Structure 1
Amino acid sequence: MALTSSLAELVVLLVEPSQMQANLVTRMLEHQGIRRVTAVTSARAALAALNDPDSGQVVISSLYLPDMPGTELVMAMRAEPMLETIPFILVSSETRPQLLEPIRQSGACAIVAKPFTEQQLARALYAAVDNLNPPEELDVADIEALRVLVVDDSLASRHYLRRLLEELGISRISECVNGREAVEVLQENMFDLVITDYNMPEMDGRELTEYIRTQSWQADVPVLMVTSEQNMGRLAAVERAGVSAICDKPFEASSVRTLINDALRS
């Protein structure tokens, strides 16, 4: 993945069937100093364009496309090794959680709600730049020896978190698809950090956190929750269960790196 130090260096692939909306977003990008913008009108055209490594470092896409929704486009990207790390920004007026959830779980770096300002778009672009650049090393001794357990029923989300951890120099990573599976792994293995989703089958993130804090032999292990859950009552229950920190999906890579660093140092 090419390194990018500023917005002006970004190469953007814009996927937008509306010519009027494409022109508006392109002007906003130009105001941010971005000059290399390729616009296509469909998901298939976007996937074809991305075969050229110079066509786009960042994808900005509408949700409703003529051939497939933006949710399927990002999942198709995540299924291709050459495309899975490309930052994806969704631009949509859609608010229904069931339609946005696949985007949140895919490792998208931002969802920009219509109507939006240049400042809101710029923040999403800076999150993309952060994803494109290597992170600073963690301020943790013997980082190669750290053991991290990632618990999430979304394969795309697990892959995204694994990549972030590996970029930080962490290689001893185990994965589970739900809390019940994590409990079995925790009974046999010791970890320095647990990163978990909230909504999972069998046993959710709150129940897993409660198990760790009250029944596990490693009750003091830091637990970081990375979740798309928006219900404040449920999130308050997670905090009472003893989670160390909560990070929203989609999340900025720098935010989750900071939380990981803080959790490990504590």
Structure 2
Amino acid sequence: MHSVNICDLAILLIEPSNTQLKVILQHLRDEGVANIEGVVSGKDAINSLQNHRPDLIISSLYLPDMTAIELIEQIKHDEVLSHIPFMLISSESSFHILDAIRQAGVVAILPKPFAHRDLKNALRSTIEFIDPQEIDLQHYDIRNVRVLVVDDSNLARKHICRVLNNMGIQQITQAEDGRQGAEIFAGGQDAFDLIVTDFNMPVMDGQAMIQYIRKDLGNAIIPILMVTSEDNETRLSNVYKAGVSGICDKPFDPQTVKEMLFRVLEAD
């Protein structure tokens, strides 16, 4: 059971529209959140973060002085602030633009307008992130599980590693693209219990790496979990055919990842 509840959250809300600010504030209050600071720009947010450390940052995509993408990059590169979960609320539908946010490692992306249940789920994901519970496995001591994380985005790797750390997984090796991941795994297949990989990467993508592991190396045993923002059903179908064990969306909520890890690691 979590020691932190939704009503305990302190939230920094960044929204340039006064009308939208009031609407989102009311939604948060309806969920039981009382400790909310509202600001209208990226600069105001940075200034606020110098004095207060919220449990969650919620931002609109387009701010008067910067985008949420630029803001999250500043935050994630600040060692003091980088641990704070970030949620985006936006009416933007462009895959290219939203993917930059997904790659940065956010807990949720909500549309405008959003449903109450989506906000509640996003707030629950935040709780999972800031008050993590170790995954309980029958066949493994979670602290001994060895994971290879493959992603060309440094921010995405950091986010994935933190989520895994929060579940009790400490032995993590990182690779910057599919080829490096394939080489690391080929150099010691018995050194890993799980691979977590992105799909779209330079040099060698996740699908090609999976095919190499399954066909060229002949390894049908190692569980491979793909974390991706890809939504093309044909491409995802090809990934399943290549031999992936499971696919999670970016951004992914820790509970979904926990359930999927339990399934792939505890499989007979």
Alignment TM class, shorter chain as reference:
over 0.9
Aligned to 1:36: 35
Whichever residue aligns with residue 105 of structure 2, its letter is: G
TM-score normalised by structure 1 residue count: 0.94
> Which residues of 2 match residues 163-182 of structure 1 at below 5 A?
163-182=162-181
CA distance in 1, matches of 2:85, 2:75: 10
Contact 1:4 1:10 in 2 (8 A): no
Q: Secondary structure at the match of 1:51?
A: helix
RMSD over equivalenced CA pairs, Å: 1.5
Alignment partner of 2:88 out of 64, 87, 90 = 90
- Point out where structure 1 has 5 or more consecutive residues left out of the alignment: none
Match of 2:117 in 1: 119
| Aligned-pair CA distance for 1:187 | 1.5
Query: Deviation string for 1:172-219 (max 9, x for gaps)?
Result: 211111111111111212311000000000111111111111112543
Give deviations 1:129-154, integer Å, cap 9, x for gaps.
22111213331423333221000001
Once the two structures are superposed, the pairs formed by residues 229-240 of structure 1 within 5 Å of their partners are 229-240=230-241
Q: Does the aligned pair in 2 maintain the 1:15–1:62 contact within 8 Å?
A: yes
1:132 aligns with 2:110: no
Is contact 2:135–2:258 with CA below 8 Å preserved after alignment?
Answer: no
How many Å separate the matches in 2 of 1:215 and 1:131?
37
Question: What letter is aligned with 1:203?
Answer: M
User: Residues of 1 paired with 2:45 and 2:136: CA distance?
Assistant: 36
After TM superposition, the structure 1 stretch with the greater mean CA deviation from structure 2, 201-210 or 217-226, is: 217-226
Q: Is the 8 A contact 2:16 2:64 kept in 1?
A: yes
| 2: CA distance, partners of 1:138 / 1:82 | 30
Distance, in Å, in 2 between the alignment partners of 1:83 and 1:150 is 23
2:7 matched to which residue of 1?
8
Q: Distance in 2 between matches of 1:66 and 1:258?
A: 40
Asked whether the equivalents of residues 76 and 83 of structure 2 are also in contact (C-alpha less than 8 Å), the reply is: yes
Q: Which letter does structure 2 place at the counterpart of 1:73?
A: L
Secondary structure at the residue paired with 2:89?
Answer: strand
Aligned equivalents of 1:137, 1:92: Cα separation in 2: 32
Q: Deviations along 1:211-244, whole A, 9 cap, x unmatched?
A: 1111125431000000000101100000111100
Alignment of 1:1-266 (within 5 A): 5-54=4-53, 56-139=54-137, 140-190=139-189, 191-216=192-217, 218-266=219-267
Tell me how far apart the structure 2 counterparts of residues 100 and 4 of structure 1 sit (CA, whole Å): 32
Question: How many aligned residue pairs are there?
Answer: 263
Structure 2: gaps spanning 5 or more residues: none
Aligned equivalents of 1:90 and 1:38: distance in 2? 16
Report runs of 4+ in structure 1 exceeding 6 Å deviation.
none
State the identity %.
40
Q: Distance in 1 between matches of 2:143 and 2:131?
A: 21
TM, length-normalised to structure 2? 0.93
Opposite residue 30 of structure 1, the aligned amino acid is: R
